[in-house]
Amino acid sequence: MKKILLLILAGLSVGCIRADLAGLFKKAKEVVTEAAPIVGKAKVYPTDTKISFEVKNKSNKIVHVAIKSDGTFVEERGSAVFSVHAGTTKGLTVDINKKTEISVWRTAQPGSASETAEMTYSVPTGKTLYFTWDGSILRPQTGPAGGKLGKTDTGMSIKNNVSKTDVKQV
């Protein structure tokens, strides 16, 4: 926002006429567009994407996750274990109408998803699975502003998300 004001003030101070202001506003819009991903630190999925599982890693270390849906591991790029780096968010499409278990490894990445996880969680069917990893526990995302916006940082609605009491460590 400061950059926009600086651009406008700079334009006015050199005596821009009205025709030049349109170009100035266009340039200001480009600055905001470029800055948006940096400010939010979260990607926004394409509108046609059906993301039903997401992990936002708020810890300062990488975490490894595997999802089992009706007894079968969900694979991404040929692997059932995916990594979520510190400060990033990872989303996948999972059938939320099937029984789902989530396995978590905090230390070394396992050789396969069938290795014993440090933590395993079960969640109910029919709800979206948007989680935050804080370094010690997987908990439902509340989204920015303490959930007042009703969305995750990536823009996914938390209206039907699992609650704290839904998530059971097994």
pLDDT tens per residue, range 15-54: 444 444 444 444 433 333 222 333 344 556 665 567 899 9
Q: Taking a C-beta distance cutoff of 8 angstroms, is the pair 127, 96 a contact?
A: yes
Tokens of 146: 């303490």
Average pLDDT, the chain: 79
Gap between the Cα atoms of 63 and 135, Å rounded: 8
Output the CA torsion sign for 142, 148, 153, 159: positive
Q: What residue segments make up the domains of the chain, in order of their start?
A: 2-40, 53-169
The predicted pLDDT at position 48 comes to: 55
Q: What is the pTM of this model?
A: 0.72
Tokens of 72: 């079968």
Tokens of 18: 């009205």
Which parts of 41-140 fold into alpha helices (H)?
none
* Torsion (CA) 155, 100, 161, 59 in degrees, nearest 10: -60
